Structure 1
Amino acid sequence: MSRHGQTREDQYVGPYRLEKTLGKGQTGLVKMGVHCITGRRVAVKIVNREKLSDSVLQKVEREIAIMKLIEHPHVLGLYDVYENRRYLFLILEHVSGGELFDYLVKKGRLSVKEARRFFKQIISAIDFCHSHCICHRDLKPENLLLDSKLNIRVADFGMASLQPEGSMLETSCGNVNICG
């Protein structure tokens, strides 16, 4: 693991040059990264350990462990993780289509054909996760990203749990507002 600071000259994480900010989440900032040799674009989630409680940091570490177990065409890929004393850097697949939520707001109603296509991709990803004893626990349009061809990528495994087959989850999580 290499040393990384926050100075103007130091805009690299491993072989990735950091560029524009893509977004800000609960646990950190997401920046565009470009591999300095191949030119491949990635999303770099930057997590400041010092600003997180121990429980939130455990959530991030669980998310990393679970994402390392998953390789599926409709799950956002985790390529690598870099760290230093202060930061965790998650090197994630970059998808350019944004959130399904924003797509739905912009487009309004989906055709049956398009809704069916999205649904099949979501079910494929979740079935894969469940077959590996992984329960996402926070599926919502904001956590479903779209690539440039409008294919789904399930993202944000921060609330996910490894659940042995046959056992039941006992913790309630996610957004209760959608249930009411």
Structure 2
Amino acid sequence: MNRRQQVKRRVGKYEVGRTIGEGTFAKVKFARNSETGEPVALKILDKEKVLKHKMAEQIRREIATMKLIKHPNVVQLYEVMASKTKIFIILEYVTGGELFDKIVNDGRMKENEARRYFQQLVHAVDYCHSRGVYHRDLKPENLLLDAYGNLKISDFGLSALSQQVRDDGLLHTSCGTPNYVAPEVLNDRGYDGATADMWSCGVILYVLLAGYLPFDDSNLMNLYKKISSGEFNCPPWLSLGAMKLITRILDPNPMTHKRAGEKKLGNLCYTY
């Protein structure tokens, strides 16, 4: 056994390998369960940084949320451990990259392929809602693909639990990525988490089929105006069914949009 193997780092029963991702508050490393040989993703957070940037509540929420969810199209949380200085989150290792990269590299998708991803997304989101969890930042960068091309929702850092709903039955935190955010989230009068997630699913479906965003502008105020007025055009190659579904989801009228959201999200899979 050489010296490098002897000093191989371990966290609990996990042998830690190369870095596979790095963010502001976390580093993600490839690791292997020494008991089963199963590969995992090890998310390492620095406690000092987390406290300094007042991220403790968000991290707690992400962990609490992921513990509630066990679904084939959601990245699985296996366990959480901590040392004096670090928090270790052991996650399912997903090898196929981001759906975002697939769109950037391959361009728009054929309708059958887009439909498959959309159905997997909607099934997973519907399941999350049934557990009282709203993601609030659904976008292709947060959708991973496994080795078999199945979609996996990741990054619940901005998710809201139903306990955060105020007395008016609405959420009040503006968050998410502007191009994918529902108009009611932007107008700051409270919004329904499930309906807001559904809007993001509609934007994702459009991106899969068109290869570009329905609402886009370098000026943020102009972008908000386009989203609030539902100002977008469907490309001519979209089928009538896809156009109808996207138009139904991306309806900026809060009343009709809300009514659409109150219908079981899972039903969308069968209308498309």
TM-score normalised to structure 1 length? 0.91
* Offset, 1:177: 4.3
Structure 2 residue runs of 5 or longer lacking an equivalent are 1-5, 181-214, 216-222, 224-272
* Offset, 1:25: 2.2
Q: SS at the partner of 1:149? A: coil
**Residues 115-136 of structure 1 deviation map (CA, whole Å, 9 limit, x = unaligned):** 0000000000100001111000
Aligned residue number for residue 175 of structure 1:
177
* Offset, 1:103: 1.1
Q: Distance in 1 between matches of 2:43 and 2:154?
A: 12
Does 1:12 pair with 2:48? no
**Residues 75-104 of structure 1 deviation map (CA, whole Å, 9 limit, x = unaligned):** 000001110121000000001001111111
Aligned residue number for residue 126 of structure 1:
125
Q: Distance in 2 between matches of 1:55 and 1:167?
A: 27
Aligned residue number for residue 117 of structure 1:
116
Is the Cα–Cα contact under 8 Å of residues 8 and 16 in structure 2 kept in the other structure? no
Q: Distance in 2 between matches of 1:96 and 1:61?
A: 26
Does 1:76 pair with 2:78? no
Structure 1 residue runs of 5 or longer lacking an equivalent are 1-7
Q: Which region of structure 1 is more displaced relative to structure 2, 38-47 or 163-172?
A: 163-172
Q: Which region of structure 1 is more displaced relative to structure 2, 157-166 or 20-29?
A: 157-166
Does 1:49 pair with 2:51? no
Q: Distance in 1 between matches of 2:169 and 2:85?
A: 37
Among 24, 27, 34, the alignment partner of 1:26 is: 24
Q: How does 1:127-166 map to 2 (within 5 A)?
A: 127-163=126-162
* Offset, 1:26: 3.3
Q: Distance in 2 between matches of 1:138 and 1:9?
A: 39
Q: How does 1:69-108 map to 2 (within 5 A)?
A: 69-108=68-107
Q: Using the aligned pairs only, state the percent identity.
A: 45
Q: Distance in 1 between matches of 2:87 and 2:128?
A: 24
Q: Distance in 1 between matches of 2:123 and 2:38?
A: 26
Aligned residue number for residue 65 of structure 2:
66
Is the Cα–Cα contact under 8 Å of residues 8 and 15 in structure 2 kept in the other structure? no
* Offset, 1:48: 0.4
**Structure with greater proportional helix content:** 2
**Structure with greater proportional strand content:** 1
Q: SS at the partner of 2:55? A: helix
Q: Distance in 1 between matches of 2:15 and 2:94?
A: 17
Aligned residue number for residue 5 of structure 1:
none
* Offset, 1:10: 6.2
Q: 2:58 is aligned with what amino acid? A: K
Q: 1:34 is aligned with what amino acid? A: R
Q: SS at the partner of 2:66? A: helix
Q: SS at the partner of 1:88? A: strand
Q: SS at the partner of 1:145? A: strand
Q: SS at the partner of 1:90? A: strand
Q: SS at the partner of 1:55? A: coil
**Residues 135-166 of structure 1 deviation map (CA, whole Å, 9 limit, x = unaligned):** 00110111100000110110000011112588
Q: Distance in 2 between matches of 1:143 and 1:25?
A: 14
Q: Distance in 2 between matches of 1:32 and 1:108?
A: 29
Q: 2:25 is aligned with what amino acid? A: T
Q: CA RMSD in A?
A: 1.7
Q: Distance in 1 between matches of 2:24 and 2:72?
A: 25
